[in-house]
């Protein structure tokens, strides 16, 4: 275990961007349940059904009223004045940037959204972290600036790398989608700000996160709805794809362990970790397991109809996370099996789709 590992500090203020998003919601909820003060920002955009985002936000409001403190700001991190005002007013100690335009395929048709949110928005967060150390913003003498910036990267930065498992030290200079390029850019930007301004920063390469209350734009959502409706699902690359599916609870546990443990004082204070299940599943097995989970959850004998298609532009055939560094520094690796994770999802999905 990391020698100086620290648990969650309840005296800190946690700023979470994308708080009504999938990972942002579950992380905010976990911190609130621990009694923390959480400031959430989200623009509540309609990339997917905002009803789900408002449902998550309502749950955070309830949790914040019974434990912890939750303050929500509806706004976009691409608005620099808004970001600066939030930092000046609330003086966050730990910043978790999860706000981003997600989706590999969506980036082919809507590139502007990725530049605004993932590049300009992240730049605004970095600048606000930098200026949190300025005396002009240090109206409270007890506030010493941001202790740690944690930000979401993605397994997509590995592109179509053939060497597996993907390790943090691998070359990631060949992204195959604009989304991946923006996430690689975030890592470079964070490294530079850490180098220039000594901002402790950690980037997390998430691997195909799934679970209840997840993103409806992801394949397992559309698969589930079509399976229940008896409609054929689209299977790309004729099913010859592998993904390192990672259950949401494992993601949140990993992030929580990292929050109060910024990179050390020697050299550039910037670190990157994979958070993945370290066990890629073939797409066809994933579909088979989802079919069984939905059948058990609904009490019906369901059968998947499939329509096989070629690989989509910007997609990759395989993702596979090495978790060696995460295990070394935090004595943690995700462990939820695809069978258990999909069963939990199926139980939730049955209730919301009935």
pLDDT digits (tens, 9 = 90+) for 192-227: 999 999 999 999 999 999 999 999 989 999 999 999
* DSSP structural state of residue 166: B
Length of the chain: 354
pLDDT in tens, 120-176: 999 999 999 999 977 444 555 677 899 999 999 999 999 989 899 999 999 999 999
Q: State how beta strands 305-308 and 69-74 pair.
A: unpaired
From CA 126, how far away is CA 190, in angstroms rounded?
7
CB-based burial, 324-336: b 16+ in 10 Å, e otherwise: eebeebbebbbeb
Sign of CA dihedral 201, 207, 212, 214: positive
Check residue 141 and give its pLDDT: 61
From CA 159, how far away is CA 136, in angstroms rounded?
42
Residue-range definition of the domain harbouring residue 264? 13-209+247-278+320-335
Q: How confident is the model at residue 1 (pLDDT cuts 50, 70, 90)?
A: very low
What's CA 238's distance to the chain center, in Å? 28
Share the mean pLDDT of the chain: 92
- Domain membership flag for residue 197: yes
Check residue 249 and give its pLDDT: 98
143 vs 50, residue with greater confidence: 50
Q: Residue 113 maps to which CATH number?
A: 3.40.50.720
Choose among 96, 90, 93: nearest CA to 42: 96
Q: Are 232 and 307 in contact (CB under 8 A)?
A: yes
Helices 283-298 and 338-353 sit at what angle, rounded to 10 degrees? 50
Instruction: Mark whether 133 is an active-site residue.
Output: no
- Domain membership flag for residue 107: yes
Q: How confident is the model at residue 109 (pLDDT cuts 50, 70, 90)?
A: confident
From CA 305, how far away is CA 227, in angstroms rounded?
7
Q: Are 253 and 26 in contact (CB under 8 A)?
A: no
Active-site choice (25, 179, 210, 320): 179
Structure tokens at 274: 């994979």
Q: How many domains does the chain have?
A: 1
67 vs 342, residue with greater confidence: 342
Instruction: Supply the DSSP string of 288-333, one letter for each residue.
Output: HHHHHHHHHHHTS----EEEE-PPPTT--SB--B--HHHHHHHS--
82-86, 112-116, 140-144, 319-323: segment of lowest average pLDDT: 140-144
From CA 135, how far away is CA 133, in angstroms rounded?
6
- Domain membership flag for residue 196: yes
Q: Are 95 and 125 in contact (CB under 8 A)?
A: yes
Planar angle of CA 229, 233, 235, nearest 5 degrees: 165
- Domain membership flag for residue 29: yes
What's CA 325's distance to the chain center, in Å? 18
């Amino acid at each position: 275990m990391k020698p100086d590992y620290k648990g969650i500090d309840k005296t800190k203020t946690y700023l979470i961007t994308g708080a009504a998003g999938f990972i942002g919601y579950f992380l905010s909820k976990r911190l609130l349940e621990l009694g923390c003060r959480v400031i959430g920002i989200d623009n509540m955009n309609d990339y997917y059904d905002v009803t789900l985002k408002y449902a998550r936000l309502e749950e955070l409001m309830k949790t914040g009223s019974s434990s912890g403190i939750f303050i929500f700001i509806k706004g976009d991190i691409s608005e620099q004045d808004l970001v600066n005002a939030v930092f000046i007013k609330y003086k966050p100690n730990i910043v978790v940037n999860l706000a981003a335009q997600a989706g590999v395929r969506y980036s082919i048709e809507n590139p502007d959204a990725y530049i605004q949110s993932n590049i300009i928005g992240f730049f605004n967060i970095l600048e606000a972290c930098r200026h949190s150390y300025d005396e002009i913003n240090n109206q409270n003498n007890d506030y010493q600036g941001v202790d740690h910036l944690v930000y979401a990267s993605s397994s997509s930065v590995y592109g179509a790398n053939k060497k597996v498992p993907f390790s943090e030290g691998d070359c990631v200079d060949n992204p195959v989608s604009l989304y991946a390029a923006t996430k690689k850019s975030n890592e470079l930007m964070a490294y530079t700000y850490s180098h220039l301004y000594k901002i402790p920063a950690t980037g997390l390469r998430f691997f195909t996160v799934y679970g209840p209350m997840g993103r409806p734009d992801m394949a397992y959502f559309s698969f589930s709805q079509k399976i229940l409706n008896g409609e054929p699902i689209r299977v790309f690359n004729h099913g010859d794809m592998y993904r390192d599916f990672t259950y949401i609870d494992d993601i949140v546990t990993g992030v929580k362990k990292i929050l109060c443990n910024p990179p050390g004082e020697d050299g550039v204070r910037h670190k990157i970790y994979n958070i993945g299940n370290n066990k890629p599943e073939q797409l066809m097995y994933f579909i088979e397991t989802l079919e069984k989970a939905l059948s058990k959850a609904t009490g019906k004998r369901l059968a998947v109809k499939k329509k096989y298609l070629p690989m989509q532009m910007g997609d990759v055939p395989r993702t596979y996370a090495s978790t060696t560094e995460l295990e070394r520094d935090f004595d943690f690796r995700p462990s939820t099996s695809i069978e258990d994770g999909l069963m939990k999802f199926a139980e939730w999905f049955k209730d919301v789709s009935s």
